Amino acid sequence: MPELPEVETVRRGLLKIATDRQIVGIDVLYGKTITNDVELFKEALIGQTINTVDRRGKYLLFRFSNQLTMVSHLRMEGKYFNLPESEVPRKHTHVVFHFNDQTKLCYNDTRKFGRMTLVKTGEEMQVAGLKTIGPEPTDTTLTVEYLVNIMAKSRREIKPFLLDQSKVAGLGNIYVDEVLWMSRINPLEPVNHLTTQQITKLRANIINELATATKHHGTTVHSYTTAFGDAGEFQNQLHAYGNAGKPCERCGTTMIKTKVAQRGTTYCPHCQVLGA
Ligand SMILES: [Zn+2]
């Protein structure tokens, strides 16, 4: 599933391939992708222009010229790419936005879990998922005080806690394993056991890791590509995810893969001791 760095990379690509062009037609080939009435969706957007694309957590926010916003979540495998009108869309293309410059923006999703919801601009935070979303993981929006406060009230294990988008926006399985390894925290550690010092370090690692991965256009595992069909480059800089059975880069102990909250989880049993 694309996490914050991958979604942000998609957003930056969309700014280049989808903005400032007028939509002259829309094909919806798989109706469930659109949570609105499909005919009303088309009617509302044909003739409009995508002014810009914003992001909140893992949600893309397409801002249209008529004060409408399309909230798009890629879920497992959603992708956007652009094609010249002369080219036939690839397999698993579910929505096509035709532009007035003889190009089209195609939404492709092999798993069909991705969704698009059109709302009035300003009402996007009422959409399910965004309504409860936690702070964006940046220096100004994710404060130590906030984390110390909510962690003190919860006995949940740190891994599911960080995967919960209502606590912190943007993290998924890969980057949670990475930041826990960097912070030397066991994925099963109850969050109310963490010290302010540990939380401070964890917060800094979350912010730095997501920013660095974004700089490298995200991580490519399975099928994620940028809006230009390129692979990300950050997979070469992962220390925990995908490293099970390999020596820990810090201490040489063999990295272990287990399941936490139904998710494959890789950690170092020496550096990330429970209750340390
Ligand atoms: Zn280690």
276 within domain boundaries: no
Q: Which of 2, 5, 137, 187 is catalytic?
A: 2
Does the annotation count 32 as an active-site position?
A: no
Cα of 241 vs centre of ligand 1, distance in Å, is 13
Q: How many residues does the chain have?
A: 276
Annotated binding-site residue? 92: yes
Question: Strand pairing partners for 120?
Answer: 68
58 within domain boundaries: yes
- Shared domain for 198 and 120, answered yes or no, is no
Task: Kindly list the strands in the beta sheet with 93-99, ordered across the sheet, starting from the edge strand earlier in the chain.
Answer: 23-28, 93-99, 103-108, 79-84
Distance of CA 262 to the CA centre of its chain: 19
- pLDDT attached to residue 220: 76
Q: Which residues of the chain have pLDDT under 50?
A: none
| Residue tagged 């998710």 (tokens) | 263
| Residue pLDDT, tens place only, 120-168 | 999 999 999 999 999 999 999 999 999 999 999 999 999 999 999 999 9
> Of 59, 93, 126, which residue sits at a domain end?
126
- pLDDT attached to residue 237: 85
- pLDDT attached to residue 74: 94
Give the number of other Cβ atoms within 10 Å of residue 167's Cβ.
21
> Of 99, 126, 153, which residue sits at a domain end?
126
Does the annotation count 3 as an active-site position?
A: yes
Cα of 176 vs centre of ligand 1, distance in Å, is 16
> Of 98, 126, 154, which residue sits at a domain end?
126
- pLDDT attached to residue 142: 98
Q: Which of 11, 58, 104, 167 is catalytic?
A: 58
d(CA 186, CA 35): 39
51 within domain boundaries: yes
d(CA 28, CA 215): 33
174 within domain boundaries: yes
Tally of domains within the chain = 2
Question: Which SS3 state, helix, strand or coil, does residue 26 take?
Answer: strand
- Shared domain for 23 and 87, answered yes or no, is yes
- Shared domain for 231 and 176, answered yes or no, is yes
The crossing angle, in degrees rounded to 10, of helices 196-215 and 144-152 is 120
Contact 207, 175 (CB under 8 A): no
Contact 78, 10 (CB under 8 A): no
CATH code of the domain containing 261: 1.10.8.50
- Shared domain for 114 and 195, answered yes or no, is no
- Shared domain for 94 and 164, answered yes or no, is no
- Shared domain for 21 and 107, answered yes or no, is yes
Cα–Cα nearest to 161, from 131, 202, 130, 123 = 202
Task: Spell out the residues 6+ positions from residue 126 whose beta carbon is closer than 8 angstroms to its own.
Answer: 119
Cα of 2 vs centre of ligand 1, distance in Å, is 27
- Shared domain for 14 and 102, answered yes or no, is yes
Does the annotation count 58 as an active-site position?
A: yes
Range of the domain at 12: 4-126
- Shared domain for 56 and 117, answered yes or no, is yes
Q: Look at phi and psi of residue 203 and say left if phi exceeds 0, alpha if psi is from -120 to 50, else beta.
A: alpha
CATH code of the domain containing 84: 3.20.190.10
Does the annotation count 75 as an active-site position?
A: no
Q: Which of 56, 89, 263, 269 is catalytic?
A: 263
Annotated binding-site residue? 90: no
Contact 170, 58 (CB under 8 A): yes
The token duo for 218 is 């995200």
- Shared domain for 260 and 157, answered yes or no, is yes
